[in-house]
Every structure is written in C-alpha cells, then in structure tokens.
Amino acid sequence: MAGIEFLKGHGTQNDFVLLPDPAGSLELTPRRVAALCDRQRGLGADGVLRVVRSAALDADSAAEWFMDYRNADGSIAEMCGNGVRVFARYLVESGLEAGPEFAVGSRAGDRPVRVHDDLSVTVGMGRPTVTGTSVAVVDGRQVSGVAVDVGNPHLVSVLDDDVRALDLREPPRYDSEVFPEGVNIEFVNLLGPELLRMRVHERGVGETRACGTGTVAAVAATLHLRGDDSGESAVEIPGGRVAVTVGSDGGATLTGPAVFVARGELEGVWWDSLT
C-alpha cells in the first residue's frame, strides 16, 4: 500500500492521530489503532480520529462528515469532546467545510461546532444526564460518585483532598453491573463557584491529560450536587483549561483549543504488516 496521510494534534494535550479517509477505504482494525497509539512502536496518541463521510459508513447522521473515534486500545468509542474540536478544525482548514459553523457526526449523535478565529472550538455536547450514583476504588480507598451520561458513561467523584496527589497508575475499580461497557472516571476538586480541577482515568486508555466529555460530566455532576439545573464553569485539567456551560434547556457546550503539531505519511509496509 502507498503511504497513508496522517495528522497529529491535541485538545488540551489529549492527543490524537487523525486519518483523512473520506471514502471509508481504510481497514481500521483494533490492532492497527493500538499500534498507531503506542508511544514506542507507533506515533503515540490517546486515540484515533478517522475523517470519513457519513454516507461511506451508512451512518445515521445528517452531517456530511463523521468522526469515527477509536480508543488507544483499539476499542470503539461513542464521543470525544477534545477529539471533535481537533476534527472540526481539520475540516475547516482542509476546505472540507466552509465553516465556521456546521455539524459533525458521531456515535453519540450529531454535534454542532463553531471554529473561532483564534482556532479554539465550541462544541454542542448534547444533554448530560445524571443517571444515579455509584462507587469506585482508587488509590486504595473507596469513593462515591455521580453517574453521568454524556453520550458515553462517566462517574464523577468530588474529593476534599487534592486530586493531584492521587495515584492513577492502576485503573480504578468500579461496579461493572452499573457500567457493563466500562466507564470514564473523573476526580474533581471544587476551587470556586465557577472553577473545578479535574483528573480522569479513561476506559480503554488510562489516565489522560484531558477528557472533553469528562469535563462536561464534571460540571453537570457538581451542578446536580448543589441543586442547580444550569450554570457554567472553567475546568482545570493537567493539559490546560476548558470552559463548560450547561444551559437552561439542559444542553451543554464545551469550548477549548485545538492544536496540530505534525502531518505526514504512514509507511504502507508498516500498515500492511498489522493485518
């Protein structure tokens, strides 16, 4: 196979390999995704974003372009709030969307986006839904949390002690009966009425420096805990800062940076060796 175009980018240091594949011709196997995301034998990333036309996948989407997102272990994921910002910026800069406002298809539904002049991106994240409570075991202790659905599952635990001190090298344990498909787990400090600090352990990846849907889940959970239906907050994550708003209609938006750092070609021989 000839070389395969790629771009490397990140949203608040949650990093991705982006593969332009309008016709859906690439065979994107779990083994290939895992190799791409491996930081020794591949390019290294938290996930892969395939740029493909919705029609090429027969996707249930009114958007022209579909974000086919894969976790670093090769598993399929519904949505990625940081990834969709990088995806949207690519569509505008490559001329595939006239911009600055359009929709991106995803397995969690179509997401409206706006690419700003400063190249930050605002994403309509849908309605985060609090679905109950559960517990997790992290760093040798059990903590309670609020379960939130943002198109993918989250468990948000608000802690009094500094989340920066947590040891997240081992995956937190959780109730698999509550989360049969796995769960992203957020650990949150309340720094002020409109400021949170967060760390996250993502299913299929491990700890990442940011999680877009996780920041929305964190804000929705903290609003729920204080009895509010709407509000806004900045969220500090290891990779930077984003802004989340939950409107009076229950819909959430996420605004943050989208950065490209490299582009090039994957070696066809390497790709073919991973069948």
Residue type present at position 3: G
Which residues pair with residue 50 across a beta bridge?
19, 68
CA dist list (Å): 105 to 18, 59, 68, 113, 261: 15, 8, 9, 11, 24
211, 237, 246, 252: the active-site residue: 211
Contact between 153 and 121 (Cβ < 8 Å): no
CA proximity to 246, closest of 267, 231, 257: 231
Beta-strand pair 195-202/231-237: parallel
Residue 134 CB contacts under 8 Å (≥ 6 apart), including other chains: 144, 145, 147, 155, 174, 175, 178, 179
Strand (E) or helix (H) holding 57: helix 54-57
80 is catalytic: yes
7, 80, 196, 266: the active-site residue: 80
37 is catalytic: no
Catalytic residues, by residue number, are 80, 211
